[in-house]
Structure 1
Amino acid sequence: MPKVGIEPIRKKQLIEATLSSIGTHGLQGTTINTISGIAGLSSGIISHYFGGKQGLIKATVRYLLDQLKVTLLNSAEQKALSPKQRLMMIVEANFTNIQQSDEATRTWLSFWAQAMHDPELAKLQRVNSQRLLSNLRYSFKQLMPPDKAIDAAKITAAMIDGFWLRSALSDSSKGEFKEAEMHCKQVIDTLILQYGEQS
């Protein structure tokens, strides 16, 4: 009889092994065997828990999305934040260590490429994009008129995604990620000055 609570542990092992495998072999080179080998678990357990490699890839992307959400919620719960502080925190959440690790960056890049051909992955991407826009818009609306808040949210989301992508593809990504975070915060400052009042 399986031990109580062992399934979440095994699933997390397999997700972490998937991140590691994609980081080493890329998405195309990642197989059930490379994942199970890294996890130290039988390949059959992947089919048992996830229905196969594709199910595990989707679960891994959801894990990265959840990490973004958890980082944001944990930061927001620490103290009462002004709208501007919340905007800066959203930027920071998108540039945390887990989101800029080699494993995460390669998984995100593979995910974006595959999302163009896979409806389920495309849906996850839309959810991710809408969540970012919604969080940004909520804070900007407290600093400027609603129509300007929508524009500011779209600009900031594009800057976050664009700077993150440029950093991920850079030879010196660690330094680039730090600079990217700073530039995104500067964009927010500029938008608040242009459309609203400094918070």
Structure 2
Amino acid sequence: MPKVGMEPIRRRSLVEAAISAIHDRGSLDITIRDIALRAGVSQGLAHHYFGSKDALIVSAMRHLLTEYGLQVRRELKKADSARARISAIIHASLGPEQFRPETVSVWLVFYVHAQESKDAHALLSIYARRLSSNLVYSLRPLVGPRARTVAEGIASLIDGLYIRKALGSLERDVVAERLVEDYVERQLGDAFGKTE
């Protein structure tokens, strides 16, 4: 008879095992059996909790997105102005917490997986909408009707620089956060009619 309260612990263990397996393989070339062995549970139990490998992979990404969301909220609590909120979002997105090797592996694999999995694509869309809405909310008092366009530029820089940094193709002396902050400053300068 299963112990009461074990399901959340086993689910979390399976999600962490999936993240570890993706990191070790560098791809989704893993099985539910591989993940269950890492988690120390039966393959049947893994199927019982998640139903399929895709559902487990999506749960692993949801776990990372939840951690990211918590980091964004922690950073936003420190912000005392609209401009500081933008910097908080940039820091949460490109700060060291997002570059743990396992996190990077899952994000890179997930971007590819979202092209073929409807559930993964939906989750990636939620991430993109939340990032955009957080940015637009903070940008509106600073750039008015240009908020959506500027937010799209910031989000694109965040995602692109994340991938480049994760792959090691960003020059060593280039700080991703600083590049995004420079873009923001340029956009704010344009909003107030400043030119360089």
Q: Scaled by the length of structure 2, what TM-score is found?
A: 0.89
After TM superposition, the structure 1 = structure 2 runs for residues 44-59 of structure 1, keeping only pairs within 5 Å, are 44-59=44-59
Rounded Cα–Cα distance in structure 2 between residues aligned with 1:5 and 1:172: 45
Q: Which runs of 4+ in 1 moved over 4 A?
A: none
1:33-44 matched pairs, under 5 angstroms? 33-44=33-44
2:83 match: 84
Shift in alpha-carbon separation, 1:10–1:28, aligned structure 2, 3 A: same
Which of 171, 181, 191 is residue 187 of structure 2 equivalent to?
191
Is the CA contact 1:61–1:108 (under 8 Å) kept in the aligned structure 2? yes
1:43-88 Cα offsets, whole Å, 9 max, x none, are 22211111121110010111111111111122223x4520111101
- Aligned match of 1:158 in 141, 156, 159? 156
Query: 5+ unaligned residues in a row in structure 1: which ranges?
Result: none
Identity over the aligned pairs, expressed in percent? 34
CA contact (8 A) 1:64 1:99 kept: no
Once the two structures are TM-superposed, the CA of residue 172 in structure 1 deviates from its matched residue by 8.0
Q: Residue 110 of structure 1 aligns with which residue? A: 109
Distance 1:171 1:139, change over 3 A: closer
Amino acid at match of 2:151: A
DSSP-derived class of the 2:27 partner? helix
For the residues of structure 1 that align with 2:176 and 2:130, how far apart are their CA atoms?
A: 20
Could you say which residue in structure 1 is the equivalent of 2:124?
125
Provide Cα deviations, 1:109-160, integer angstroms capped at 9, x if missing partner.
Answer: 11111211121211111111111111111100011222x1111101101100
- Aligned with 2:167 (options 166, 169, 174): 169
Number of matched pairs: 194
Change in Cα spacing, 1:25 to 1:92, as seen in structure 2 (3 Å) is same
Native 8 Å contact 2:79 2:88 kept in 1: no
Q: What is the letter of the counterpart of residue 48 of structure 2?
A: H
Inter-partner Cα distance in structure 1 for 2:181 and 2:124: 23
User: Could you say which residue in structure 1 is the equivalent of 2:175?
Assistant: 179
Residue 33 of structure 1, CA deviation: 2.3
- Looking at structure 2, the residues matched to 140 and 37 of structure 1 have their Cα atoms a distance apart, in angstroms, of 47
1:27 is aligned to: 27
Structure 1 residues 50 and 197, CA gap change in structure 2 (3 angstroms): farther
1:24/1:80 CA distance change after superposition, 3 Å? closer
